[in-house]
Chain A
Amino acid sequence: GESVGLHLPTLSVQEGDNSIINCAYSNSASDYFIWYKQESGKGPQFIIDIRSNMDKRQGQRVTVLLNKTVKHLSLQIAATQPGDSAVYFCAENGGSNYKLTFGKGTLLTVNP
Chain B
Amino acid sequence: ETGVTQTPRHLVMGMTNKKSLKCEQHLGHNAMYWYKQSAKKPLELMFVYSLEERVENNSVPSRFSPECPNSSHLFLHLHTLQPEDSALYLCASSQDRDRGQFFGPGTRLTVL
Considering only CB atoms, which chain B residue lies closest to A41 in the complex? Answer: B105
- 1/0 contact trace for B76-110 toward A, CB 8 Å? 00000000000000101010011011111110000
Report A-chain residues with C-beta under 8 Å of the C-beta of B45.
99-100
Among B56, B90, B100, B102, contact of A98 (Cβ-Cβ < 8 Å)? B56
Report A-chain residues with C-beta under 8 Å of the C-beta of B92.
43
What range describes how many residues of A lie at the interface?
Answer: 20 to 34
User: How far is A89 from B48 in the complex, measured between Cα atoms in Å?
Assistant: 21
* Contacting residues of chain A (64-89) with chain B, CB-CB under 8 angstroms: 89
- 1/0 contact trace for A22-53 toward B, CB 8 Å? 00000000001010100001111110010000
| A42 x B101 contact (CB < 8 A) | no
User: How far is A43 from B92 in the complex, measured between Cα atoms in Å?
Assistant: 9
Cβ-based interface call for B43 (8 A) = yes
**Given A98-B31, A98-B55, are A46 and B42 neighbors across the interface (CB < 8 Å)?**
no
Considering only CB atoms, which chain B residue lies closest to A46 in the complex? Answer: B100
Among B33, B43, B101, contact of A46 (Cβ-Cβ < 8 Å)? B101
**B interface list, Cβ under 8 A from A:** 2, 4, 6, 31, 33, 40-43, 45, 48, 50, 55-56, 90, 92, 94, 97-98, 100-106
**A interface list, Cβ under 8 A from B:** 4, 32, 34, 36, 41-46, 49, 89, 91, 93, 97-105
| Pairs A–B under 8 Å by Cβ, sample size 8 | A32-B98, A46-B101, A46-B103, A49-B100, A89-B42, A91-B43, A97-B55, A98-B33
